[in-house]
Chain A
Amino acid sequence: MESQIILLIFILVLSIFLGVELITKVPSTLHTPLMSGANAISGITLVGAILSSGSSEFITIALGTAAVFFASINVVGGYLVTNRMLSMFKKK
């Protein structure tokens, strides 16, 4: 189990560095869509929520289902609104 956690920490550290590299290149014009797009990605917690709400215990199902609800608002709303904003950015 310890080795698995170490591996996950390893992934975490690399991802943070990758995130920094990716985001510093985004121009300020796109900061709002970047933010709402990143916000939609943070809805990835939906994966964990689905696993919880599929369990057999009542309390876990209840908490998990609520989590699925909120996370799916975040995911669907976040991506749609980002798309709506980006489609307005045009060059003449």
Chain B
Amino acid sequence: METAILVNLAYIASSILFIVGLKMLGSPDTATRGNFLSSSGMLLAVLITLLDQNIIDYRYIAGALVAGSIVGFFAATRVKMTSMPEMVAIFNGFGGIASLLVGSAEYVSGVFDNPAFLGAIFLTVLIGGLTFTGSIIAYGKLSETISGKPYLYKGQQFVNGLLLFAILLVGINMLFIQGLISSEQTLLLLIGLAFILGVLFVIPIGGADMPVVIALLNSFSGLAACAAGFVILNNVLIVAGALVGASGLILTNIMCKAMNRSLANVLFSGFGAAPDSSTESSQEQGEVKPINAEDAYLILEAASSVLIVPGYGMAVAQAQHTVRELGELLEENGTEVKYAIHPVAGRMPGHMNVLLAEANVSYDVLVEPEDVNPIMETVDVCMVIGANDVVNPDAKDNEGSPIYGMPIIEVDNSKTVFVLKRSMASGFAGIQNPLFFKSNTRMLFGDAKDMVSTLVSEFKG
């Protein structure tokens, strides 16, 4: 009894550390300490759990803990910052499968006749399973081991409906009937269906919509832990799981708002799969005005304010360090340099911020679209580096455009726009961008990194 009280007090302390830790993640000044507090909460919860008197054998626990920690350590210290979205995706998956296994272990070991427990196990296994396979598909799409294109097929809705119906039947059998098939068969069937659901859920979503998917899977991994908390009647799992669930849902919502689309539209529309009719009818496009690095240098040299707009292309070209170098040279030249970051630029929320932080860009020069759009007319040069859809003026001007209504960074209102781009190929969503044809736009064709380093050497030379 004494230990039970001690354990529960420790769990309360852990919960407090998680909450304060998350609160401190709200500001870059305190975030590192916040993360430390949160990890101390985790350490405390794990250590106190090891005191549990029901634990008979510590060998397996110790072995698995050490093995998992080593894998986690190497993954965390080796991963490149550009690969962070894949990393978070696969970690979400591991959290999901762990919850699934906990739920399964409880199911096979215990005799439950209480539908509330069985319902909690059902949810743990279902959410954990779909988080696992969904995250693996997301990982594949982000690392481009599988195509980032949305995968759509005929009768998709019907298959999904059938799958959900089957899951419902298994759930009813598990909770209330229990006699139709054996409990082992029920569990295996449920795991199988949850795995299939995860695959079918992420497969139709395009690579550019991955920020939403990762945020959602993040939320699911928390909810799975939360459901596992109801299985083993443990309040720290419920508190921590609910915090993560809420955090993932908020990020999902922010991402959807930044694209002016509903969650349902992101999940089910297969955005960017088929070429939209409005893009095929080529409108008055005007002329593209290419410019070489020398002329670009002269314009930059004379500019008093420069706004850099990075996108996924910058990450692909690994150009963030060179971009920072250019930014510093511009500042030395007396130019005010800021970086405008769209919430959905990159492949996960805040992706660009991390890359620029890695390249030593001070975080106070990173600005959001709503800060910079009102003063856009005063900006001399906007440099769009590997971004496309987030600066597409069709989002405000063309009601027929698939991205109409999406908040953008209105670079076309600035005095001059430089677009660094490989070729005239359209962006991820397959939408033509009229920005390239505007009279104040100059195109710098080529690899983003090469182009920026040429500009850097122009400044130095």
Interface residues of chain A, those whose CB is within 8 Å of chain B, are 1-2, 4-5, 8, 11-12, 15-20, 22-57, 59-61, 63-92
Residues of A contacting B27 in the complex (Cβ-Cβ under 8 angstroms): 27, 30
Q: What's the nearest-Cβ distance from chain B to residue A80, in Å?
A: 4
Complex Cα gap A85–B80 (Å): 11
Residues of B contacting A76 in the complex (Cβ-Cβ under 8 angstroms): 68-69, 72-73, 76
B105 x A67 contact (CB < 8 A): yes
Complex Cα gap A28–B354 (Å): 11
Complex Cα gap A22–B236 (Å): 17
Residues of A contacting B249 in the complex (Cβ-Cβ under 8 angstroms): 20
Question: Is residue B272 contacting chain A, with contact meaning CB distance below 8 A?
Answer: no
Q: What's the nearest-Cβ distance from chain B to residue A2, in Å?
A: 8
For A24, give its contact among B55, B104, B250 (CB under 8 Å).
B250
Complex Cα gap A55–B235 (Å): 20
Complex Cα gap A70–B96 (Å): 9
A54 x B39 contact (CB < 8 A): no
Of B342-350, B386-394, B404-412, which stretch is located at the interface?
A: B342-350
A35 x B251 contact (CB < 8 A): yes
Give the top 8 A-B pairs by smallest Cβ distance, nearest first: A19-B246, A72-B68, A54-B55, A31-B350, A77-B72, A76-B72, A15-B242, A80-B76
Q: What's the nearest-Cβ distance from chain B to residue A23, in Å?
A: 4
B362 x A41 contact (CB < 8 A): no
List 4 additional contacts besides A50-B50, A85-B357; criterion CB under 8 Å.
Answer: A28-B350, A42-B95, A65-B63, A77-B75
Residues of A contacting B68 in the complex (Cβ-Cβ under 8 angstroms): 68-73, 75-76
Residues of A contacting B354 in the complex (Cβ-Cβ under 8 angstroms): 32-33, 85, 88
A44 x B105 contact (CB < 8 A): no
A47 x B73 contact (CB < 8 A): no
Complex Cα gap A91–B35 (Å): 19
Of B215-223, B302-310, B374-382, which stretch is located at the interface?
A: B215-223
Residues of A contacting B104 in the complex (Cβ-Cβ under 8 angstroms): 63
Residues of A contacting B77 in the complex (Cβ-Cβ under 8 angstroms): 80, 84
Question: Is residue B260 contacting chain A, with contact meaning CB distance below 8 A?
Answer: no
Q: What's the nearest-Cβ distance from chain A to residue B138, in Å?
A: 13
Complex Cα gap A50–B228 (Å): 13
Closest to B351 in A: A32
Question: Is residue B38 contacting chain A, with contact meaning CB distance below 8 A?
Answer: yes
A41 x B243 contact (CB < 8 A): yes
Question: Is residue B419 contacting chain A, with contact meaning CB distance below 8 A?
Answer: no
Q: What's the nearest-Cβ distance from chain A to residue B210, in Å?
A: 12
Residues of B contacting A88 in the complex (Cβ-Cβ under 8 angstroms): 81, 354, 357-358, 360
Question: Is residue B182 contacting chain A, with contact meaning CB distance below 8 A?
Answer: no
Interface residues of chain B, those whose CB is within 8 Å of chain A, are 18-19, 21-23, 25-28, 31-32, 34-36, 38-39, 42, 45-46, 49-50, 52, 54-58, 60-61, 63-65, 67-69, 71-73, 75-77, 79, 81, 84, 87-88, 91-92, 94-95, 97-99, 101-102, 104-106, 108-109, 114, 116, 214-215, 218, 221-222, 224-226, 228-251, 254, 341, 343, 348-351, 353-354, 357-358, 360, 362-364, 366, 368
Complex Cα gap A77–B224 (Å): 19
Q: What's the nearest-Cβ distance from chain A to residue B111, in Å?
A: 12
A81 x B109 contact (CB < 8 A): no
B350 x A35 contact (CB < 8 A): yes
In the complex with contacts A35-B350, A41-B222, A67-B101, A54-B67 CB distance below 8 A: no
In the complex with contacts A33-B25, A68-B64, A42-B240 CB distance below 8 A: yes
A83 x B32 contact (CB < 8 A): yes
Complex Cα gap A41–B38 (Å): 8
For A33, give its contact among B35, B228, B231, B237 (CB under 8 Å).
B35
Complex Cα gap A39–B86 (Å): 13
Residues of B contacting A16 in the complex (Cβ-Cβ under 8 angstroms): 242, 245-246
B232 x A51 contact (CB < 8 A): yes
For B353, give its contact among A20, A25, A29, A46 (CB under 8 Å).
A29
Q: Considering residues A28, A47, A63, which has the most beta carbons from chain B within 10 angstroms of its beta carbon? A: A47
B222 x A90 contact (CB < 8 A): no
Q: What's the nearest-Cβ distance from chain A to residue B337, in Å?
A: 12
Closest to A77 in B: B72
In the complex with contacts A29-B363, A35-B88, A55-B54, A41-B60 CB distance below 8 A: no
Complex Cα gap A75–B98 (Å): 11
A42 x B35 contact (CB < 8 A): no
Q: What's the nearest-Cβ distance from chain B to residue A11, in Å?
A: 5
Residues of B contacting A59 in the complex (Cβ-Cβ under 8 angstroms): 105, 108-109
Q: What's the nearest-Cβ distance from chain B to residue A71, in Å?
A: 4
A72 x B28 contact (CB < 8 A): no
